[in-house]
Amino acid sequence: MQRLLAEGSALLGAVPLCARLDAEVLLAHVLGRPRSALIAHAEQCVDAAAVARYRMLLVRRAGGEPIAYLIGEREFWSLMLAVSPAVLIPRPETEQVVERTLALLPERPRADDEIRVADLGTGSGAIALALSCERPLWKLTATDQSAAALQLARGNAARARLDRIEFLEGDWFAPLGARRFHAIVSNPPYVAGGNVAMRTLRFEPAAALSPGPCGLEALHHLIALARRHLETGGWLVLEHGADQAVEVAAALVAAGYARVRCHRDLAGHDRVTEAQWED
């Protein structure tokens, strides 16, 4: 095993610590064992078929393919989610959308009401599943225009035994009819089409990353239409690019939202903006 890990680290090269970690994650995945087992059983032999699978994954990793796609999963909010090239790989900064939504709404509904939250552009289901996990009494609606993404999200919900999430296919608000929610949350595509970042993100679905040439198209659409689907006092919580906070806040104010507030991620970037709709 040590020889295989050294071979993997050398092939993945440029960043030695990441190379070693990636090699360990890939070998552990191929062997179906935890990474710790590689250290505990360092002298154990690996059969030829597993070595061939491992080497194939190393080559794909060296070509830039994200590790999450190679092993088919990524952790988000302590939930292990299946991912495929049909969905964006959930990012740690998106956990702030979850944190803010939990902070803004009451845990329990009043009397005979229910708390309804919509996650638009759910992808792997990351935000909806995290919210449902923390607030089992809330009714979650998760939408996406991608049937493949929804299939994956449904599977993730089933594996996590979260059965209070409804999945609907369609363009942003289209599948919601006239329904209203206590919060609408979204991590929409927000990278400008021509941005160089699109090249480094080339393995992820373009429709999950970029809404068009300017990058703000989906955010503007969500801001304009969400108010028709929010209860009085309901919240819109949006993730956006670090350089889009000013435009997002201005659009929210212009559309008549109150209590517009932006939050920084751990790296100090303005990444999540919330606003309240008061009819």
Which residues in this chain contact ligand SAM in the complex, by CB under 6 A?
Answer: 87-88, 90, 94, 121-124, 126-127, 143-146, 149, 171-172, 187-189, 207-208
Q: Is 7 helix (H, G, I), strand (E, B) or coil?
A: helix
Contact 220, 270 (CB under 8 A): no
Residues 46 and 31: their CA atoms lie apart, in Å, by: 8
Closer to ligand SAM by CB, 27 or 135: give it: 135
Q: How far, CA to CA in Å, does 241 sit from each of 78, 93, 190?
A: 24, 11, 6
Q: Least distance in Å: CB of 67 to ligand SAM?
A: 16
As measured in angstroms, the least distance from the Cβ of 119 to ligand SAM is: 6
Q: DSSP 3-state assignment of 139?
A: strand
Q: Which is nearer to ligand SAM, 9 or 263 (CB)?
A: 263
Rank residues 156 and 187 by Cβ distance to ligand SAM and give the closer one: 187
Burial of 93 (0-12, 13-18, 19+ CB in 10 A): middle
Burial level of 260, CB count in 10 A (0-12/13-18/19+)? middle
Smallest distance, ligand SAM to C-beta of residue 155, A: 15
Toward ligand SAM, which CB reaches closer, 219 or 262? Answer: 219
**Tokens encoding 248:** 């997002």
Query: Minimum distance from CB of 33 to ligand SAM (Å)?
Result: 28
Q: Is the dihedral of CA 4, 5, 10, 12 positive or negative?
A: positive
Helices (H), 125-186: 126-134, 147-159
Residue closer to ligand SAM, measured from CB, 101 or 187: 187
Q: In this structure, what token pair is assigned to residue 220?
A: 């503007």
- Whichever of 25 and 87 has its CB closer to ligand SAM, that residue is 87
Tell me the closest approach of the beta carbon of residue 50 to ligand SAM, in angstroms: 31
- Please give the structure tokens belonging to residue 253: 């104010």
Contacts 24+ apart (CB under 8 A), 49-53: 51/4
Q: Find residue 234's DSSP bridge partners.
A: 277
Q: Which is nearer to ligand SAM, 192 or 208 (CB)?
A: 208
Minimum Å gap between C-beta 169 and ligand SAM is: 9
**At closest approach, how far in Å is the CB of 192 from ligand SAM?**
14
